[in-house]
Amino acid sequence: APLLRILGIETSCDETAAAVVSRHPDGRGEILSDVVLSQLEEHSAFGGVVPEIAARAHVEALDGLIEEALDQAQVRLCDINAVAATSGPGLIGGLIVGLMTGKAIARAAGKSLYAINHLEGHALTARLTDGLSFPYLMLLVSGGHTQLVLVRGVGEYERWGTTIDDALGEAFDKTAKLLGLPYPGGPAVERAAREGDADRFKLPRPLVGEARLDFSFSGLKTAVRQAATEIAPLNDRDVADICASFQKAISRTLQDRIGRGLARFRSEYAHLDVTPALVVAGGVAANQEIRRTLQALCLEYGFRFVAPPMKLCTDNAAMIAWAGLERMAADFAPDDLDVQPRSRW
Ligand code: KG4
Ligand code: ZN
């Protein structure tokens, strides 16, 4: 296989990102550049991502970031083989900006275009960072997604579990807002929880014990609201105790849900002669207690726990470029220039 190089573009949510990644003839990936501009400040006053603001910010930043990514990688457009742009799922305004830009570059430079599913980007990242081989399990826990996915091959994914209401990061964000903590809520809740008593509040552990592998977090949020209302006005101690109890409920829930997933993987792939692996991705993977829980679980079930560096766990364009490279290397046809962005996919 020849050396391949791809320019990646990511604009599906509140991060504008561009990257150049190469794939060596031996299959190894190399990140030549990876630039991300977070719009956190634009959105924090609103306590969440505002789609219209996000789309406008992508328009303003994207071309400069692409230039920066090419400069840092020391390549010109003629040195790349293709352009990979996220085409869904996500906020439609941002997707339009990124995909149209990708199309324009591909057309003008005479390169092929790969329209990438954002989730595929997350799913394949561990092969770029850790050279993981198929099959493996991936837990994606971010502000928009909560999914346990069986990754069988490039383009071969089986969703084993998903949330039936809020995403896990969303549950952190809503809980933080309820307690008067800043956005994004995850880091604030984790910080407050460190000083708290995790056993003070008995919060629900949704779906624990059920055979299917789905998640549900909205009941937990409601229980937090109830607890907070009952003891209002809240002092710092109360907030810390609620956060600690909340995080403990999440950890126990994940322990049960993911434990079942690992057991199912083991029974379906009993013949596998390599150590099975669980990969985490998404912003919530930054949470130390959740990490410890998953790590302990992996130890218990004999899994390798793979947590790519945080920069590659959260939204970035290197994973999109890599997904394009994986598709290219696996002889998937590039996409036509009339491919449409899909907010749901
Ligand atoms: O993957 P990500 O950066 O992007 C999007 O989903 O867009 O995930 C962001 C989410 C937010 O909901 C944030 O509150 C959560 O990840 N998060 C955390 C932590 N850091 C970020 N949740 C729990 N604990 C953390 N330390
Ligand atoms: Zn993402």
pLDDT in tens, 49-75: 899 999 999 999 999 999 999 999 999
pLDDT band for 46, please (50, 70, 90 cuts): confident
Q: Quick check: CB of 141 below 6 Å from ligand 1?
A: no
Domains 4-129+315-329 and 143-308 belong to one CATH topology: yes
Number of other CB atoms surrounding residue 168 within 10 Å: 29
Is 308 touching ligand 1 by the criterion CB < 6 Å?
no
**Within 13 Å and on the Cβ side, how many CA atoms surround 306?**
26
**Domain segments of the chain as ranges:** 4-129+315-329, 143-308
Confidence class for position 263, pLDDT limits 50, 70, 90: very high
143-308: CATH number: 3.30.420.40
Model confidence at 194, in pLDDT bands (50, 70, 90)? very high
Ligand 1 contact via 166 beta carbon (within 6 Å) = no
Starting from the CA of residue 185, give the closest ligand.
Answer: 1
Mean pLDDT of 238-259: 97
Write down the mean pLDDT value for the chain. 96
Residue-wise pLDDT for 137-177, tens only, equals: 999 999 999 999 999 999 999 999 999 999 999 999 999 99
* Whole-complex ipTM: 0.98
pLDDT, tens only, 327-342: 999 999 999 999 999 9
In CATH terms, the fold of domain 4-129+315-329 is Nucleotidyltransferase; domain 5 (3.30.420)
**First and final C-alpha spacing in the chain:** 31
Tell which one of 39, 172, 220, 246 to mutate to probe ligand 1, the residue whose CB is within 8 A of the most ligand atoms: 172
d(C-alpha 262, C-alpha 235), whole Å: 40
Which residues is 220 bridged to in the sheet?
A: none
Q: How far is 151 from 156, CA to CA, in rounded Å?
A: 6
Task: Enter the pTM of the model.
Answer: 0.95
* pLDDT at residue 99, as a whole number: 98
Beta strands in 241-329 (DSSP E): 277-281, 304-306
Give yes or no for a contact between 161 and 147, defined as CB atoms under 8 angstroms apart: yes
Question: With 80 as the cut, is the pLDDT of residue 1 above it?
Answer: no
3-class secondary structure, 270: coil
Q: In this structure, are strands 15-23 and 29-38 parallel, antiparallel, or unpaired?
A: antiparallel
Binding residues for substrate: 140-144, 173, 186, 190, 287
